[in-house]
Structure 1
């Protein structure tokens, strides 16, 4: 029996899952690490914490599974997108990684747009300049930490820092590279023209591969340290959303998925290159060679829930909360007793492209309890995902199959809420396994175990629950969604004024 490892370097933890060659899950581990916020709107992590998590996780996988390392034929990597890792000439980390959800680079985005022009930027990179993307983070460091910038010889994305550690290779894949805003997304190659116009050195960029291509083997000193075999191949892999698409079987036209992790995403596969000239949704390369995906993003999906539980449910363990979440939500009616939550804790991407907007509870009264607020948080996140779904549909991308994955998909009421708001059938995946399964599928094709991603997904991906929209619920949600959509515009100037204080 041959085995595959899928590794997902998330914002809060590294998940490593061992699969057999038929994609049966053999062993799973998760190693947590911290996100630091030194200033309001900033988000950073120490890349060495990721390496510590990898070391611990791999050792646990090998010890607990008792699988012969020689039988692990390939590793697929995935993880948080956009985050900037800067290395010096000795591959030492120069500064903490600036994460995807960091909002410090609004001015840099304005400068990028001014220098390049919005039309060039969208045509070249398929996206407007946004604080979440890697490009603006790099320019921020160049302006604000010039000594750090001068020392920089390589930049990598989080999963690719793990790759460097494992293989010694500077490499990334087209899906993750798309989110750096330095790639010609239609041509699937680095945009040298963009880099030169911004006075940036293209030499700091890693080699870019298709997601199923092999990028290297395990280094000898890593085999000694961790117990992995030197013949194990590491495949390019994909950004977390592109990998989740594969893990959900979303690899053909008219297929889409929603994921509820730290951020929330509505992701539609397309064989035709499509861009939103308004920049409300992103177009990136997909993990399936020669295809793309259009993606709407809610910045603080699971993050909103985590924030609320940490501050309002300190007396209840996280495990108990998630076990009882359906029961808690079922006791509060749709609309949370006329309470609406705006999930803009880290600004918002789709559809507002506004780094200055912030979260809010609207309609809060003395009668409301924390249970009402909890349901309002989940409804607010769902309304934001509905915004994403609406924009994708507006672009003429037909969707007849919707999957759901991520931690939020384990909750039945939340999943039903999404079906009611989208107005379409959805299916949920098993065990939040979309990203790691997707990475493992890419790894299997990369080493020649199977011929192509599409064929593997036909039998390797399965689902646990199906949800059909309830039209009565839909009508109730529509009334609150109409108010929700109006609130951003009503509060936009207030957000600007607060940000200027």
Structure 2
């Protein structure tokens, strides 16, 4: 048996698979996000541990024998979070999360240093870890002075599980301190934020062993002490391992809280000007590119709160057949935007509202707005040298066939729906745990699921979607100039 632990923004998932990679069972526990000020997003790392305990307890209650047979553990987690520890590994302040934009000025300052784009292959986005530390230094100097280690969220779980300060290449790529081409920390970039390699965890590949389960926890969960814990991966790279998106040209579109258009690459292909993320993959000698939008299903969830309807009820009102875009356009910039704008200050908008613009028109506009944001990412990937011919859909939003039809038509490429199964980040983490424990060939383990259905672009609506996309593109500079 192999255990995958995925630390998301909204919860922790524990997933058990057997040696044939069949899902045996899972447990889950929810997490809340604290927003003490506008643009801030934080979590207490103690809540991650409590949620992990709860998820594993649920798993143990239903599958105690199988949990006892675990031979390897893999970790996945939300990226970019700044978990600050003192010399005794005590947490110094709440973790500043990936969707926190308070450090926009510090990010701009670091990005103006040409070394960052040259060495990391990426823009320094406000959500990345390095500008968060610069913000802490500028605004909480007493905290900064005590910082002995900076860990990413999943690696704080690893510290609790194993007692080790270790990270891996995919997650470290999102800090703005990693030399992504050479797959190592950059002393120059760390020094630019008054840190050095002593503040950083050791680095391994995601398929490597990275610590072993502590005896205390093993006894509590009925497991063997010393079970190896894999390096693991950041959530998107872990999802890619779960989906088999590890070979050249393989890609997925993720409709989660945020949205990701992810493509695997055999070579390092940086193009920071495109605002595409170029990161190390979880597998050795492999990289990936991705366009990231900050509010995907979050946009629909926001509309649910406004209307008092759940997501299924809203999308069901649209019917089963894709419609031509109407006169209402939605810009999904509720938390700012990454690809392609790198704009933490921009906010969302509806345009074209009229007396006849009812709830269904707003829902349709939200789904189309997110689809057009993915189109922005597709164009950015093309600029960065990656041409996609099809994608596989994952994430909670992919349950809506209407939404997938809008995305396929907006992108102009087919969208594959995998056969029923759990192929997300927790599954990818479990696969990495299997590889680390057994030494299996990563490519033989990280295979793609069967395709259940393919949604192709609606040929009759391609022209209307192109017109609507051009209107969507014209709106960003218009609203930016008045905000």
Decide: shared fold, TM above 0.5: yes
- Counterpart of 2:449 in structure 1 is 461
Task: Determine whether 1:481 maps to 2:479.
Answer: no
Alignment partner of 1:173 out of 148, 168, 175: 168
- Counterpart of 1:376 in structure 2 is 365
Gaps of 5+ in 2: none
Aligned length: 482
For residues 200-257 of structure 1, the C-alpha deviation after alignment (integer angstroms, 9 at most, x for no partner) is 2321100111000011111112123333321321101000111111111111111111
Deviation at 1:361, TM superposition (A): 0.6
Are the equivalent residues in 1 in contact too, given 2:72–2:230 (CA < 8 A)? yes
Task: Determine whether 1:309 maps to 2:304.
Answer: yes
Task: Determine whether 1:256 maps to 2:256.
Answer: no
Task: Determine whether 1:92 maps to 2:80.
Answer: no
Alignment partner of 1:438 out of 428, 447, 450: 428
Deviation at 1:89, TM superposition (A): 1.8
Task: Determine whether 1:423 maps to 2:412.
Answer: yes
Deviation at 1:326, TM superposition (A): 4.5
Alignment partner of 2:460 out of 472, 476, 494: 472
Are the equivalent residues in 1 in contact too, given 2:303–2:363 (CA < 8 A)? yes
Partner Cα separation in structure 2 for residue 279 and residue 147 of structure 1: 37
Q: What does residue range 116-127 of structure 1 map to in structure 2 within 5 Å?
A: 117-118=113-114, 120-127=115-122
Deviation at 1:288, TM superposition (A): 1.7
- Counterpart of 1:61 in structure 2 is 59
- Counterpart of 1:499 in structure 2 is none
Deviation at 1:126, TM superposition (A): 0.9
Partner Cα separation in structure 1 for residue 110 and residue 73 of structure 2: 36
Counterpart secondary structure, 2:124: coil
Are the equivalent residues in 2 in contact too, given 1:386–1:421 (CA < 8 A)? yes
Shift of the 476–78 alpha-carbon distance from structure 1 to 2, 3 Å rule, reads same
Q: TM-score, normalised by structure 1?
A: 0.93
Are the equivalent residues in 2 in contact too, given 1:14–1:31 (CA < 8 A)? yes
Deviation at 1:199, TM superposition (A): 2.2
Partner Cα separation in structure 2 for residue 422 and residue 388 of structure 1: 10
- Counterpart of 1:354 in structure 2 is 343
Counterpart secondary structure, 2:254: strand
Counterpart secondary structure, 1:378: helix
Counterpart secondary structure, 2:482: helix
Deviation at 1:484, TM superposition (A): 0.2
Are the equivalent residues in 2 in contact too, given 1:76–1:234 (CA < 8 A)? yes
Deviation at 1:129, TM superposition (A): 1.5
Counterpart secondary structure, 1:329: coil
Partner Cα separation in structure 2 for residue 271 and residue 331 of structure 1: 39
Alignment partner of 1:213 out of 199, 208, 214: 208
Are the equivalent residues in 2 in contact too, given 1:70–1:231 (CA < 8 A)? no
Counterpart secondary structure, 1:231: coil
Partner Cα separation in structure 1 for residue 372 and residue 177 of structure 2: 31
- Counterpart of 2:180 in structure 1 is 185
Are the equivalent residues in 2 in contact too, given 1:336–1:372 (CA < 8 A)? no
Gaps of 5+ in 1: 496-501
Alignment partner of 1:130 out of 122, 125, 134: 125
Are the equivalent residues in 2 in contact too, given 1:334–1:476 (CA < 8 A)? no
Q: What does residue range 4-403 of structure 1 map to in structure 2 within 5 Å?
A: 4-114=2-112, 117-118=113-114, 120-313=115-308, 316=309, 318=310, 321-322=311-312, 324-330=313-319, 334=323, 337-403=326-392
**RMSD over aligned Cα atoms:** 1.7
Are the equivalent residues in 1 in contact too, given 2:258–2:294 (CA < 8 A)? yes
Are the equivalent residues in 1 in contact too, given 2:256–2:296 (CA < 8 A)? yes
Counterpart secondary structure, 2:3: strand
Are the equivalent residues in 1 in contact too, given 2:82–2:150 (CA < 8 A)? yes
Are the equivalent residues in 2 in contact too, given 1:127–1:279 (CA < 8 A)? no
For residues 393-444 of structure 1, the C-alpha deviation after alignment (integer angstroms, 9 at most, x for no partner) is 2222232342111111121111122111111122123455321121111111
Shift of the 105–279 alpha-carbon distance from structure 1 to 2, 3 Å rule, reads farther
Counterpart secondary structure, 2:231: strand
Are the equivalent residues in 2 in contact too, given 1:133–1:179 (CA < 8 A)? yes
Of the structure 1 ranges 103-112 and 195-204, higher mean CA displacement relative to structure 2 is found in 195-204
Deviation at 1:463, TM superposition (A): 3.5
